[in-house]
Amino acid sequence: MDKAINYKGPRKGSLGILRFVVGKLQTSLSPSKGMKQGHFVVIATEGWEPERFVVELCYLNNPEFLKLLKQAEEEFGFSQEGALAIPCRPHDLRRILGMREL
């Protein structure tokens, strides 16, 4: 059984935002839901069609990725469930993640 979370909202500042996102990811994703441990899902929402990406937790240290998380906070807030919506084009996210275009 999951433990109860006392939600008081994210604290201001990058560290507070990062802690909130990591906490949300830890409680909403688990290996039993088909995700590999140490990964989370984001959706690049801009462009012709939204695209889903499975991202390693290590990208939470990437300054470009953190900028996208800040933009997502400003545009969508913290009420997202499941995958995180990121306001960028899929090819921009591929570049940040070091993925090659198909």
Q: What is the pLDDT of residues 45-98, one digit of tens each?
A: 888 889 999 999 999 899 999 998 888 888 877 676 778 889 899 999 999 998
* Strand-strand pairing, 51-56 and 39-44: antiparallel
Q: Indicate the length of the chain as a whole number.
A: 102
Given pLDDT bands bounded at 50, 70 and 90, which one contains residue 100? low
pLDDT given for residue 64 in this prediction: 92
pLDDT given for residue 40 in this prediction: 86
CA distance 53 to 74: 21
Structure-block tokens of residue 59:
């990208």
**Whether the Cβ atoms of residue 53 and residue 71 lie closer than 8 Å to each other:** no
